[in-house]
């Protein structure tokens, strides 16, 4: 899973990194940066969604067969509050792992200047799919 994450160039572009991995649970961190903002100076909803989506995908992958690749089928995100903070933490967990489809939920929380995690600023529900026997897809 860490090898696959390292190949997600867009996560590196955003500065996202793995905070922790457990079976069915992945936590990613991303820092506030001026080049990731929307028009009001908060982190762009798309960055929040991107990191939450990756966290969900890798949470799903931890429970899939070793020869499976994972792709996002769909996700839905509610933005609960402006993404203000110094660091953002996306914590994803598998709600149900099926043979083909895995459903995940993720929460994103912002860390303030005092280092404390606040209430969730975003909530995601996502469906991931296992692809098997696709030698072209290293995962």
CA distances from 94 to 18, 21, 35, 63, 114 (A): 17, 12, 31, 9, 30
Largest alpha-carbon pair distance within the chain? 48
**Residue 21 contacts a second copy per CB under 8 A:** no
Residues in 79-138 that interact with a second copy by CB under 8 A = 79-82, 95-96, 100-101, 103, 105, 119-120, 123, 125, 127, 129, 136-138
Nearest approach, Cβ of 45 to a second copy (angstroms)?
A: 4
Nearest approach, Cβ of 132 to a second copy (angstroms)?
A: 12
Core vs surface per residue 4-36: b (16+ CB within 10 A) or e? ebeeeeebeebbbebeebeebbbbbbbebeeeb
Nearest approach, Cβ of 22 to a second copy (angstroms)?
A: 19
Q: Is 133 helix (H, G, I), strand (E, B) or coil?
A: coil
Q: What residue ranges bind a second copy (CB under 8 A)?
A: 4-5, 7-13, 34-40, 43-47, 49-51, 53-54, 69, 71-82, 95-96, 100-101, 103, 105, 119-120, 123, 125, 127, 129, 136-139
């Amino acid at each position: 899973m860490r090898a696959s994450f390292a190949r997600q160039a867009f996560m590196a572009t955003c500065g996202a990194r793995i905070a922790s991995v457990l079976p069915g649970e992945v936590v990613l961190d991303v820092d506030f940066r001026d080049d990731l903002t929307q028009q009001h100076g908060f982190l762009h909803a798309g960055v929040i969604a991107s990191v939450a989506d990756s966290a969900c995908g890798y949470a799903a992958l931890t429970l899939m067969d070793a020869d499976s690749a994972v792709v996002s089928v769909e996700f839905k995100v509610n933005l609960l509050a402006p993404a203000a903070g110094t660091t953002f933490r996306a914590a994803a967990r598998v709600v149900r792992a099926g043979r083909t489809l895995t459903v995940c939920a993720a929460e994103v929380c912002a860390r303030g200047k005092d280092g404390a995690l606040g209430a969730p600023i975003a909530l995601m529900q996502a469906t991931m799919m296992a692809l098997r026997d696709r030698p072209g897809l290293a995962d």
